[in-house]
Structure 1
Amino acid sequence: MVSTLGDTSPRYSTIKKRAAEFKRGRESLEDDPRSGSTRSSTTSDQVDAIRRIVLKDRHLTTQQIANKMRISYGSVKSVLNDTLGMSKLSARWVPRIRTPDQKFVRHDLSKELLARFQTDPDYFYSRIVTQDETWVHHFEPE
C-alpha cells in the first residue's frame, strides 16, 4: 500500500483493525455515530444574547461577555468569530464582512503602498505613524 498510496496510506495497525471489523460483519468505512454532547454547547438563545450584548456595548472583551453569560471563554469566542462573523478591531467588535468594492480598494491601496516602498524605502519608513500623534502641551505655571 505504501508503494501505491505513498505517505497517504493508512498505518498497518489501522488496516489490521479494519480487517478484523469486516470479518465480524461490518459493511461500512464510515465512523459509527457517537453518544455524548454535541460539538457546540451554545444554543440559539445564547447566540442571540451575545449578539445583543455586543451591539449594546462593542468595547466589551470576550472574557467580560463570558462572565455576563456564565459560559466559557472559548464558547463566546466561537460564537463571536464563527457564528456572528465578528472580530475585534480598535477595541470594538465589528462585522468582518467586506464588500467586493472594499476588497478592490484595499487591493489597489496595497499595491500603491508597495510601489512607494520599493521606490524609496527610507522615505517610506519616515512617513509611517507608529502611535497616536496627539499633541501634548507642556505648561509650566509661573
Structure 2
Amino acid sequence: MAGKTDGFSAAERAAMKERAAELRAEGKKGAKKAEGLEAVLEAIAKMAPDDRALAERVHATVTEAAPGLSPKTWYGMPAYANADGKVVVFFQDAGKFKYRYCTLGFQDAATLDDGDMWPTAYALKAWSPDVEKQVAELVRAATS
C-alpha cells in the first residue's frame, strides 16, 4: 500500500488517551465526547492492519480539518458528528463487508451539495499526501 504507515505512534496514542481523560474531566458533555473518541479508537484497533492504517490517517485528518466534529461510532464504524449529533463523515473498512476498498462517506448533514448531483462516498485504497489533501478539503467543505 503506497504511503503505508505503521499506524499511530505510541506518542499519538498517549496524546489521544490524555485528551479523552481531559474531556471526561469537563463533565457530562465532555465524558460523552471522551466515550465517542474511545469507541472510535477501539473500532479502528479491531480492523485488519491495512484498513487500520487508513482509518488512523482518516481519523487524524478529519480531527485536524474539522475540530468541531465529535468522533463516535456509527453502525460500528468510525464517524464524526456535528454539534447536533448528526453524522457528517464516516469511514467503513474494507473488511466490514469484504469489499476490495475502504469507503470514506458523507451523510446528508455534509454540505457537499454541487448542483443536482454530487458524490457522497469515495473508495479509499491507499494513503498519500494527495489523498490526505483531498480528504481534508472534502471534510472542510462538508462542515462549512
Structure with greater helix share of residues: 1
Q: Which has the higher contact order (CA 8 A, sep 6+)?
A: 2
Q: Same fold (TM over 0.5)?
A: no
TM range (shorter): under 0.3
Larger gyration radius, structure 1 or structure 2: 1
Which TM-score applies when normalising by structure 1?
0.21
Structure with greater strand share of residues: 2
Which TM-score applies when normalising by structure 2?
0.21
